[in-house]
Structure 1
């Protein structure tokens, strides 16, 4: 009976959430329908609409919290409708602002995700704004609990539904393959948001006494108190000591240019700040000590990380990733200062700081992508000129570029190409492709690290398969082969023969390693050789007789250039090279072998 009563209460709260957040629920329902359409037809792509309605759901969520915090006591229904209308208007504005993209690029996706994150921060912050009844850390705790309870229930429900679907499909009847995806879509887009909203209380204002229900939402479970106080905080403390030791031991070496610090510091600061905010809901010796010490430790560590990232800009330029890392370092420093020297009632101002920084990161012309774009294009052109690769706005390949400069040029060129900025550089050839045109354009291979130098000093040729039309002719048999040789590594000098049949007569393709290259021999059923071809001759014809050190290139081959024929009166052996590469110690070939018995 208690279970049934509990279920009734849950559904009652979820029903109340629909009345409380009607626009949010409507938008999430539309998201669910769009996902269902894409599940049924994988060709459809509603990414733009999905992001639009997710933004709209978040806007209406924040709008309702603003109404409840400042206007609900006055029963100003007109203002509530006005807020709902403003949410719809901003959602429509977002739809047109992002443009008619069919597929989202990285910049649009990242900006949308940052916007969603900022709206969730606002959702947590609004109830505590100028509110003596509710502090920021209490609002944060309420949302934190609601999120994890929702995630737990949704995960259990999803696992249960998946198990029932699998059992029914395997044991009873064949089910539609998309049915499980539809069920999980309903759980993710409808049940989870509704349950989360049902766990979000109507926060009291200064003029309303905190109810028993509200106290329950703000209560810290004993399990969570023990977990945070005696497990999480000690672990964060040990992690802090390790980072401090790392900084002290390496501050005079390559510390300032070591990329290892950035991911370590970001993960440390994120976890540490979450634990810090939650610790204000618990008063015991460990949490009080943590609140006193951690913010003051966070300040110098965040400053170190930020300075190290800024120094890295001088070497590799500013990317959008490093832009966000620096911005986060600034935020972490401000959090440390606020929690170290300001009173409890001002702690919620960190949400305002985060909102301002988030806005700066997505608003042109100072957003992450605009700033990083100008930085990378400028650095790219600068490095090309410094290394005599760009003279009078014309590219001139140069094989004498130092290794360090090669690494910088490769990283910048890769970033520019992956972000689609290459069309803005007039000196790059039309239809420039980083992976096939880099070596012919600059005179050296893509070099991402010191260890790439030896690996990339070789000859690489690939069949251009974009316009692949190959006549099979009168071939009786086609065999796909990949053969390779590596110096000082064990290899089978004679591979098992490949048996094939033509006109009821058996033949075999023999592959024997002769030195560094394989020789192909076609034999009849009596073992008599009919024709043979050394792959060394093929390598030399494609790559030429220049040594590896004299010649290093990545190049695509046309079908005509990739086709080689050896024939006599008995057999015609035609080889189509799919890929071929050679270094001083290694060679490899992938090819189609077409055999015609005359």
Structure 2
């Protein structure tokens, strides 16, 4: 019991110490939690303020780590806090000028926060007896400890709220979000910081021998690899990564003259492999066993050629797609991974801080103009779009000229570039598109054809809806009925409707023999007047490359949604209310609801 009480006291004292070590960080995290609570309660976007407070929190603990390592003066700490406030204010003044928080802002900020986190881990051990490997292990353990404690705390509070809701009185659904906000935004990061030891620094000369001994013991305890983690890394993770590496090498060897250079699926696999190898290498540097030693000797040499192949493949892909921020980061990470692999082959493990410095440098380079991911990708995609328009004589005197006869390859280039520029909110900067350009509403009018939009998983599934406000002209038809066609046709009645025209009775039925179904019009005697293969109807609306209906819209007009078939006895028009063409499997799956309009010829 006493041990448990001592443990609780130690944890509480650690939290109190975190408040005193990182006052600005705690203040900014509290502000972020308040902003999040306001957003949950009011359903308002406060993302600019949230990002600002997060930047302040990360700057706070990074500058505090630098202060602990290099100075013992109170003036330095006050100056660091002032610098933190000034930089945070500067960030806010930059983001507040935009109407919304764009994807570019989120990515730039995320990369900057990542760089500050690595700085926080690396700076305390610069030219220190404690290695970067030890500091990284301490941060690694602190992260998962805080994750575990926060998860248990959140689950416990959630169960209490649920019990109150079921047994006592109604609890608002937002209470769970507020709990997640407080635990995730406030408790988890503060608890993480409380587990980070005070490393040796200039201020050691002002500490008592007891304080120095306490700090030294905490550093040793925090940086010691637990037996569980050692077993996990050495005897489970390393063998799994080895098998994964063998599979990659076999694939590359078999496809080096073909698919390897154009296989988009392989790129994220290679990046994941590089991340895993570098992470495991740093963790394995704290281990002393044959598996860890073998990994440290072999895998840096394996990493370099694989990453070089990935860089070349990504550069070749740029020739087809132009530069995007995603591919920019793939390439720049590949360069970092190759450089890290070379360093790991030659430098001793205690010098791994160089890898951290390299990572910080590449991260900052990727977000600071003019060589940053966004300046380069924007210029690349605008240039690619402009060049393609000029080649097809679609741009003169800074004015676009619609051209529906453009080749399919150029249609895709134009569509891909415009899709990317619209996603990144860059289109307002392109004068010939106009400040109010809307990719959904204006694309056809400006370019003369409907845009391509490739599914992220290359499945090219189609989902289209009828604009409910679009009028349907039924003046040329005598019958109007709704018909449904779904993959589970067996649950639908075969007879859709019976109707009379000029004293004769006619029947619309579903023929369920075909995969997508048939629509059959017959007279009273059973003679077939018209048969429509619904696969032809669905294929008409296929918007994937090579399909018949090149349009991507949130909703279709009645004219766009209409498919008509005619013979010498009848005219049938099907107006698609909703349709879905699922292409995730080996065979497409067709589902749809249609208005069916029928005209019987005299």
Is TM > 0.5 for Structure 1 vs Structure 2?
yes
Measure, in 1, the Cα distance between the counterparts of 2:579 and 2:291. Answer: 63
Match of 1:252 in 2: 257
Distance 1:183 1:580, change over 3 A: closer
Q: Structure 1 residues 416, 518: closer, same or farther in 2, change over 3 A?
A: farther
CA distance in 2, matches of 1:82, 1:307: 46
Distance of 1:30 and 1:512 partners within structure 2: 64
Residue correspondence of structure 1 range 206-285 to structure 2 within 5 A = 211-285=216-290
Alpha-carbon spacing, 1:435–1:250, altered in 2? closer, same or farther (3 Å): farther
Q: Distance in 1 between matches of 2:153 and 2:363?
A: 34
TM-score by length of structure 1 reads 0.78
Alpha carbons of 1:559 and 1:69: their partners in 2 closer, same or farther (altered >3 Å)? same
Instruction: Give, in whole Å, the separation in 2 of the partners of 1:319 and 1:130.
Output: 38
The aligned residue for residue 103 of structure 2 is: 106
Please list every run of 5 or more consecutive structure 2 residues that lacks an aligned counterpart in the other structure. 205-211, 473-479, 499-505, 512-516, 525-529, 541-545, 563-573, 582-587, 598-602
Partner of residue 502, structure 2: none
Q: Deviations over 1:203-237 (max 9, x none)?
A: 12487677222211121111111111111111111
> What secondary structure is seen at the aligned counterpart in 1 of 2:366?
helix
CA deviation digits over 1:104-163, x for unaligned, max 9? 1110010010111010010011011111x1111111001000001110111111112212
Alignment partner of 1:446 out of 443, 452, 456: 452
Counterpart in the other structure of 1:52: 52
CA separation of 1:415/1:136 partners in 2, compared to 1, >3 Å: closer, same or farther? Answer: same
Cα separation, 2, equivalents of 1:586 and 1:67: 62
- SS of the equivalent of 1:362 reads coil
1:463 is displaced (CA, Å) by 4.8
Q: Aligned pair 1:358/2:363, yes or no?
A: yes
d(CA) in 2 for partners of 1:559, 1:550: 20
Within a 5 Å distance, the mapping from 1:511-590 to structure 2 comes to 512-513=509-510, 517=519, 552=549, 554=551, 578=577, 590=593
Cα root mean square deviation, aligned: 4.3
* Correspondent of 1:148 among 144, 165, 168: 144
> For structure 1, which segment, 111-120 or 177-186, has the greater mean C-alpha deviation from structure 2 after superposition?
177-186
Q: Is the 8 A contact 2:495 2:509 kept in 1?
A: no
Aligned to 1:483: 484
Distance 1:518 1:440 in 2: 40
TM-score using structure 2 length: 0.78
- Give the equivalent residue in structure 2 for 1:96: 93
Alignment match of 1:414 (pick from 415, 419, 435): 419
Q: Which has the larger displacement, 365-374 or 201-210?
A: 201-210
Report matched runs for 1:129-140 at 5 Å.
Answer: 129-131=126-128, 133-140=129-136
1:36 counterpart = 2:46: no
Question: What is aligned with 1:328?
Answer: 333
CA–CA separation in structure 2 for the residues paired with 1:317 and 1:399:
23
Unaligned ranges ≥5, structure 1: 472-478, 500-508, 522-526, 528-533, 544-548, 564-574
Distance 1:562 1:228, change over 3 A: closer
Q: CA deviation at 1:174?
A: 1.9
Structure-2 change in CA distance of 1:59 and 1:518 (3 Å): farther
Distance in 1 (alpha carbons) for counterparts of 2:238 and 2:548: 58
Task: Say if 2:427 and 2:437, in contact at 8 Å, map to a contact too.
Answer: no
Q: CA deviation at 1:103?
A: 3.1
Q: How does 1:366-377 map to 2 (within 5 A)?
A: 366-377=371-382
Equivalenced residue count is: 536
Hey, what's the Cα distance between the residues in 2 that align with 1:550 and 1:360? 42
Q: Which residue of 2 aligns with 1:13?
A: 14
411-420 vs 19-28, which moves further: 411-420
Distance in 1 (alpha carbons) for counterparts of 2:450 and 2:17: 66
Alignment partner, residue 78 of structure 1: 75
Q: What's the secondary structure of 2:98's corresponding residue?
A: coil
SS in 2 for 1:483: strand
CA deviation string 1:518-538 (max 9, x = no partner)? 7799xxxxx9xxxxxx999xx
Find out whether 1:395 has 2:432 as its counterpart: no
Q: Distance in 2 between matches of 1:24 and 1:434?
A: 43
1:264 to partner: Cα distance: 0.7
Q: Could you tell me which of 173, 181, 195 is aligned with 2:169? A: 173
